[in-house]
Structure 1
Amino acid sequence: MSWRDLDEGDIRVRPNRRGSRPRTKERPAHADAVIGLVVGVDRGRYTCLVTRESPGSAAEGDGERTVLAMKARELGRSRVVVGDRVALVGDTTGRPDSLARIVRVEERTSVLRRTADDSDPIERVIVANADQLVIVTALADPEPRPRMIDRCLVAAYDAGLEPLLALTKADIVDAQAFVSTYAPLDVDYVVTAQDGHDIRGIDELRKRLTGRISVLVGHSGVGKSTLVNALVPGAGRSTGEVNDVTGRGRHTSTNAVALRLPESGWVIDTPGVRSFGLAHIDPDRIVDHFPDLAQGTDDCPRGCTHDEPDCALDAWVAGGHAGPAGPARLESLRRLLESRSAAEEW
């Protein structure tokens, strides 16, 4: 065989050494890997929680431990995020100065993602394996931003997460007028208010979070970290004030972190972001979350944006097929679809 018949995939030349060997795509199975939960990410280091039930653990029965890990080279550009269940090899004892390797990301049940803006096709995974998205917004100081909330609702529907509105600062403004805006969407909500050193409504919020994996999102200054500190004693999340000039809060959470609730379940506190792009979301997937309206799109023209003169949804609603709440539901759907293509800073 001539060297002209070979390519770089056939052999690897090793400088200053005689001979060469064929490349292989086979990778170790890592059957003895320990399964851990990623609870924190900081500059390429992953804090993982390993429990005694972890299969393949050489230290089964020694209780729960925290293991610091880095991503193995074989994962390439694959992103590991808070909430991921990962396979760990190497030093998984959790001793000080030890470092394990993440060699595999287990299959995800859900993925919350965003793009940098609505023109950016690159998706960024925020959190994995959550089942509830808690949208924290203040009723005043700073003023609520309905479009931001709409965008979070779209992201929740796309990810298969159940949305929950957590409305703070009801001691300043009554929540009823704001809540009525989202009544047609049947979005669950909890209202909280500061009462001296206590937070009214925190027990009700705790009930909605118990036994679940909940992601908290919201722009800066809405009281997200204050809620986390009340829900998880000792969490120590920094809180900040709202700027009197800009009306915006100062970023206090700089990285996502998963915190275990005292009863059961987890809350994942995320840092505030300036934009929440939805370029990766197909509008039809949003409509699917409105089953009373989705059937009415069968007669829509191809490529219908559901907000144009020929849209079949108008006739569907006018004919009473979507029930008494049809007109309000259609208006809400179109508002969500519009939010997908109208970027707004948080």
Structure 2
Amino acid sequence: MTPTRRYDESDVRIRPGRSGSRPRTKIRPEHADAETAMVTTVDRGRYTVLVDPGGPHERRALAMKARELGRERVVPGDRVDLVGDTSGDAGTLARIVRISDRTTVLRRTADDTDPIERVIVANADQLVIVTALAEPEPRTRMIDRCVVAGYDAGMDVVLALTKADLADPSTLASLYAPIDVTVLSTSRGPDRTIVGLEELRALLAGRTSVLVGHSGVGKSTLVNALVPDARRSTGVVNDTTGRGRHTSSSAIALALPTVGGSAPGWVIDTPGVRSFGLAHVQVEHLLAPFSDLARVAEACPRGCTHGDDAPDCSLDEWVAEAPDDATRVLRAARVESFRRLLASRTGNASTDSVERDSR
């Protein structure tokens, strides 16, 4: 028979105390001496900021995000408060301790069912959708998605049609003439200058504008012409797929040079996108950016879903009553584009709807 073992104090493990550590607290420092700055670009956890933007001591600095901000994302266009070494000297690193309230936030999701929102930029006044008229072919459904995202963010929307020397912009421009989208076109002149650039520059003056578009549409070319020191990489379109190659890897805010006494402004160039999910946009808000359709839909019966199977929908009647075939085609295209967005958000579309809408 095995004798019963007797236990003593040597069998008890005493964990050493942590008397030297400070107790946790939810009280955060006020950082009353923090300096204001604008985030211009983000690169692997480091933030390039412009300290005292527009002030007498304007300078660039490198910063990191303070731990107390947690997972809150900092994006180009954000106005932030900095502490630490804000001199901008080589080898220095400041800390971002606060993010100011944002006036606008441009978001997108991976698809129309993804619950995770991806903030692209903050505090922009207007969204400039850059679309090529050829090489690659324009994708109207992608334009519509960007229009919806822009209006949902509370931004003005501009449609910049590039490569007008390769195709007539009038047909595409007529699709957006009935709604509150400013449309302009640019083309290459005989001396390689960009015709129409001054009209675009006038729209950007005094404002913060974010440029979005597919790869290969000429977005970086426009940025380089607007901001000569930008030196953004430009790419070519694949002859087989008809798609452009990604040349910009991150969003960056660039100050517009003042020309002829114009007001200073900012352009935020973003990487090329191939899809623009709208899971963050409420279904009932989808019709508002289609202001031409919204006016027609006011005559719909109560409870009308405006979908393909909606009985007595005024949108169908509007298409049927078009005065001529050309107008009927344009109206049908507008209604189809809206209904595809509606179907993708309500779950009545196939899972590849976002990708098809981006083509």
Match for residue 158 of structure 1 among 126, 130, 152? 152
Aligned-residue sequence identity (percent) comes to 59
What is the CA–CA distance in structure 2 between the aligned matches of 1:143 and 1:69, rounded to whole Å? Answer: 41
Structure 1 window deviating more from structure 2 (137-146 vs 331-340): it is 331-340
Q: Per-residue deviation at 1:30?
A: 1.2
Q: Tell me if the contact between 1:283 and 1:337 (Cα under 8 Å) persists in the aligned partners.
A: no
Cα-to-partner distance string for 1:121-172 (whole Å, 9 max, x where unaligned): 1101000000110000100011111111111111111111111010011111
What is the CA–CA distance in structure 2 between the aligned matches of 1:123 and 1:251, rounded to whole Å? Answer: 22
What is the CA–CA distance in structure 2 between the aligned matches of 1:123 and 1:232, rounded to whole Å? Answer: 30
Aligned partner of 1:211 in structure 2 is: 206
What is the CA–CA distance in structure 1 between the aligned matches of 2:134 and 2:332, rounded to whole Å? Answer: 28
1:278 aligns with 2:278: yes
Match for residue 105 of structure 1 among 99, 102, 113? 99
Aligned partner of 1:27 in structure 2 is: 28
1:300 aligns with 2:300: no
Is there any run of 5+ residues in structure 1 with no aligned partner, and where?
1-13, 55-60
Superposed, 1:1-346 pairs within 5 Å as: 16-18=17-19, 23-51=24-52, 61=56, 63-195=57-189, 196-263=191-258, 264-289=264-289, 290=291, 292=295, 295-296=298-299, 299-300=302-303, 304=305, 306-310=307-311, 313-314=314-315, 332=334, 335-339=337-341, 341=344, 342-344=353-355, 345=358
What TM-score results when the alignment is normalised by the length of structure 2? 0.81
Structure 1 residues 52 and 314: alpha-carbon distance in aligned structure 2, compared to 1, 3 A threshold: closer
What is the CA–CA distance in structure 1 between the aligned matches of 2:240 and 2:330, rounded to whole Å? Answer: 36
What is the CA–CA distance in structure 1 between the aligned matches of 2:255 and 2:54, rounded to whole Å? Answer: 17
What is the CA–CA distance in structure 1 between the aligned matches of 2:317 and 2:34, rounded to whole Å? Answer: 54
What is the CA–CA distance in structure 1 between the aligned matches of 2:298 and 2:213, rounded to whole Å? Answer: 33
Q: Per-residue deviation at 1:24?
A: 2.0
Q: Per-residue deviation at 1:314?
A: 4.9
Q: Per-residue deviation at 1:316?
A: 9.9
What TM-score results when the alignment is normalised by the length of structure 1? 0.84
What is the CA–CA distance in structure 2 between the aligned matches of 1:315 and 1:247, rounded to whole Å? Answer: 33
What is the CA–CA distance in structure 1 between the aligned matches of 2:89 and 2:339, rounded to whole Å? Answer: 50
Cα-to-partner distance string for 1:17-38 (whole Å, 9 max, x where unaligned): 3488754211111111111000
Q: Tell me if the contact between 1:190 and 1:205 (Cα under 8 Å) persists in the aligned partners.
A: yes
What is the CA–CA distance in structure 2 between the aligned matches of 1:107 and 1:339, rounded to whole Å? Answer: 30
What is the CA–CA distance in structure 1 between the aligned matches of 2:30 and 2:339, rounded to whole Å? Answer: 44
Q: Per-residue deviation at 1:95?
A: 1.0
What is the CA–CA distance in structure 1 between the aligned matches of 2:300 and 2:74, rounded to whole Å? Answer: 38
Structure 1 window deviating more from structure 2 (77-86 vs 328-337): it is 328-337
Is there any run of 5+ residues in structure 2 with no aligned partner, and where?
1-14, 259-263, 322-326, 345-352
What is the CA–CA distance in structure 1 between the aligned matches of 2:330 and 2:244, rounded to whole Å? Answer: 33
Cα-to-partner distance string for 1:97-117 (whole Å, 9 max, x where unaligned): 110001111000000000111
Structure 1 residues 175 and 316: alpha-carbon distance in aligned structure 2, compared to 1, 3 A threshold: closer
Q: CA-atom RMSD, angstroms?
A: 2.8
Structure 1 window deviating more from structure 2 (73-82 vs 271-280): it is 271-280
Q: Tell me if the contact between 2:131 and 2:162 (Cα under 8 Å) persists in the aligned partners.
A: yes
Output the amino acid matched with 1:156.
Answer: G
Output the amino acid matched with 2:199.
Answer: E
Structure 1 residues 20 and 98: alpha-carbon distance in aligned structure 2, compared to 1, 3 A threshold: closer
Q: Tell me if the contact between 1:39 and 1:82 (Cα under 8 Å) persists in the aligned partners.
A: yes
Q: Per-residue deviation at 1:183?
A: 2.0
- Radius of gyration: which is bigger? 2
Cα-to-partner distance string for 1:233-282 (whole Å, 9 max, x where unaligned): 11100111111111111111110000011121100000012321111111
What is the CA–CA distance in structure 2 between the aligned matches of 1:148 and 1:174, rounded to whole Å? Answer: 19
Aligned length: 319
What is the CA–CA distance in structure 1 between the aligned matches of 2:53 and 2:161, rounded to whole Å? Answer: 38
Q: Tell me if the contact between 1:287 and 1:293 (Cα under 8 Å) persists in the aligned partners.
A: no
Query: Could you say what secondary structure the match of 1:204 adopts?
Result: helix
What is the CA–CA distance in structure 2 between the aligned matches of 1:35 and 1:172, rounded to whole Å? Answer: 46
What is the CA–CA distance in structure 2 between the aligned matches of 1:39 and 1:297, rounded to whole Å? Answer: 46
Query: Could you say what secondary structure the match of 1:47 adopts?
Result: strand
Query: Could you say what secondary structure the match of 1:276 adopts?
Result: coil
Cα-to-partner distance string for 1:267-323 (whole Å, 9 max, x where unaligned): 00000123211111112123344363575578225xx355542466559979x9xxx
Structure 1 window deviating more from structure 2 (120-129 vs 307-316): it is 307-316
Q: Tell me if the contact between 2:126 and 2:210 (Cα under 8 Å) persists in the aligned partners.
A: yes
Q: Tell me if the contact between 2:287 and 2:338 (Cα under 8 Å) persists in the aligned partners.
A: no
